[in-house]
Amino acid sequence: MVKKSLAVLSVIVFVIAFTAVFAAQAAFGAYIEFKPPYYYAPGNALGVVNSFFFTFFFSLLFFGYAAPLALGIEAVKYASYFASGAANAFDLLFAAPGVLAALSAIRLGHGVLRDLRGEGSVFDEFSASARLFIAGVVLLGVLLVVKQFFQ
């Protein structure tokens, strides 16, 4: 139950952070220049891959409880680049693999926490976590290939 509410909270934080930053820049003209704590450049494949792995590993902190913060950072990044014109609408689709990475980290983190408590095994959640992670990697690859046709 905690996994589901944490996943929902993470997505809500993403939507609220994106909307707030985008609205602030669009309505008030307040330019928010945000540089994520890793290498990222809009349109660069390495930056998109870094973004995916940052979201996964940062979300693993505190057994998946850092996922809302990771997705909040990603939302602020995407909103600031999109509102400033540095990223186009297609670049926003790269947030979807990041969300899958965060959901994967939540499942894995809760599996580890249950294992530490003696209530189950990490392998109870590993399969679902691996499926979400692989789906995120595949979606990331598909988006990177498709993006080549739009340049």
Q: Where are the domains of the chain?
A: 2-149
| Cα–Cα distance measured from residue 135 to residue 4, given in angstroms and rounded to the nearest whole number | 18
Q: Is 59 within 8 Å of 67 (Cβ atoms)?
A: yes
User: According to the model, what pLDDT value does residue 1 have?
Assistant: 56
**Confidence band of 94 (pLDDT split at 50, 70, 90):** very high
CA 62 to chain centre: 16
- The pLDDT score that the predictor gives to residue 135 is 98
